[in-house]
Structure formats: structure tokens, C-alpha cells
């Protein structure tokens, strides 16, 4: 049986960017496959009484996060630009991931979206940006129409409900079996467990 790890991410999540850019290499080193699962933090935050990113609600936490992102990106050789506005609206991008059937193609598209957002400072709700991201992932521009597919819209809602049912409260989150790990700084521990199963 192939050992696997579930990667639950949100396009508005800064730390999900960091994880998305390293999880495949880490998985390959450990003989683990990655399942890419988009979801929406908005409904999960709303259930906690938040109407915005906690990094905006709590300015001190936000200032720390932006500096932390600069440090971690520099250490890992990643470029990083603070997106404006923040958080970005990743709804269409998340729906597009749901239209992509294979996880390797999902991975390529997700990384291209994160690069557009956190490297190039582009607006990932813009159709032109998303078409370019699809192209970088070797996916046809017609894929964009999937954003409006009622079944895809429903699938993303159900995906977010599944995340809540699994106890996911933030992004990035990693599931190995029923074991939940939260945060980019827990990716290594999650991967180690996946490799041992």
C-alpha cells in the first residue's frame, strides 16, 4: 500500500505557500505520495467568530507573520512578496483545483497559483492570471470554465465541510490517517509519520 499524506491548503494562507513549495520534494525523499486538498478558511473562521484573517484581526500577530515569512522564504531560497490585498480571494483557484483529477497536476497548478500570488504579487482572482497558471501546469485555458460548474461549486463546499469534520481549523494542515498536524512547521513531523506507516 502506497504511504500517503493529505495536504489541506487555502490559497489565502501564507504558510500554505511555504508548504506547497517543499512538500513534493520532502515526500519523494520519504517514499510518500501527496494528496492535494483545497478548502476554504472563510466558513471555518466564521464558525470561530472571525470575519477576516486572524493576521488582520490581531495586528501584532500579523506583523510577526510577515517578518516570519520573509525569514523563512529567504532561508529556503524562495522569493516572497506581500500580496495586496490580503487575504486574496482564492475561491476560483480552489474550484479549479477541484476540476483537476490527478494529484501531480493539482500540485503543478497549485504551485503556479502560489507563485503568482506570493512571488509576483498578482491577483489570483483575475481570470488572466488563472489562465496563465493553468498554462504553466500544462492545462488548457478552457479549464477555467470549471469555476462556474455547479457540481464543482458543490464539491468545494463539501470539501470544506469535510475539513471541518476532520477537525481542521487552519491552513496548512496535514493528515496522516486520522492524525492531524497544523502549520508548515509541523510538515516534517507529519511526513515522518507517513513514512513510518
Model pLDDT, residue 61: 87
How many CB atoms are located within 10 Å of the residue 7 CB? 27
Cα distances (angstroms) measured from residue 189 to each of 13, 69, 97 = 20, 20, 26
Closest by CA position to 182, among listed 9, 1, 2: 9
Q: Which H or E run includes 181?
A: strand 179-182
The C-alpha cell at 85 is 490585498
Model pLDDT, residue 52: 59
Model pLDDT, residue 66: 94
Model pLDDT, residue 197: 77
CA–CA dist 193, 174 (Å, integer): 11
Sign of the torsion angle spanned by Cα atoms 90, 138, 81, 186 = positive
Low-confidence ranges of the chain (pLDDT < 70): 1-2, 45-58
pTM of the model: 0.94
CA–CA dist 187, 42 (Å, integer): 23
Amino acid at each position: 500500500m502506497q504511504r500517503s499524506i493529505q495536504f489541506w491548503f487555502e490559497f489565502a494562507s501564507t504558510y500554505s505557500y511555504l508548504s506547497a513549495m517543499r512538500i513534493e520534494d520532502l515526500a519523494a525523499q520519504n517514499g510518500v505520495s501527496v494528496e492535494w486538498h483545497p478548502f476554504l478558511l472563510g466558513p471555518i473562521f466564521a464558525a470561530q467568530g472571525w470575519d477576516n484573517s486572524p493576521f488582520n484581526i490581531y495586528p501584532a500577530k500579523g506583523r510577526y507573520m510577515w517578518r516570519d515569512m520573509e525569514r523563512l522564504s529567504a532561508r529556503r531560497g524562495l522569493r516572497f512578496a506581500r500580496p495586496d490585498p490580503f487575504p486574496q480571494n482564492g475561491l476560483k483557484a480552489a474550484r479549479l483545483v477541484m476540476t483537476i483529477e490527478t494529484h501531480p497536476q493539482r500540485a503543478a497548478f497549485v504551485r503556479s497559483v502560489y507563485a503568482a500570488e506570493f512571488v509576483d504579487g498578482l491577483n489570483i482572482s483575475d481570470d488572466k492570471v488563472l489562465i496563465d497558471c493553468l498554462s504553466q501546469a500544462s492545462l488548457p485555458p478552457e479549464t477555467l470554465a470549471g469555476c462556474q460548474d455547479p457540481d464543482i461549486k458543490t464539491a468545494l463546499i463539501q470539501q470544506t465541510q469535510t475539513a471541518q469534520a476532520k477537525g481542521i481549523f487552519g491552513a496548512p494542515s496535514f493528515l496522516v490517517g486520522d492524525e492531524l498536524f497544523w502549520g508548515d512547521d509541523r510538515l516534517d513531523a507529519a511526513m515522518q509519520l507517513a513514512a513510518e506507516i
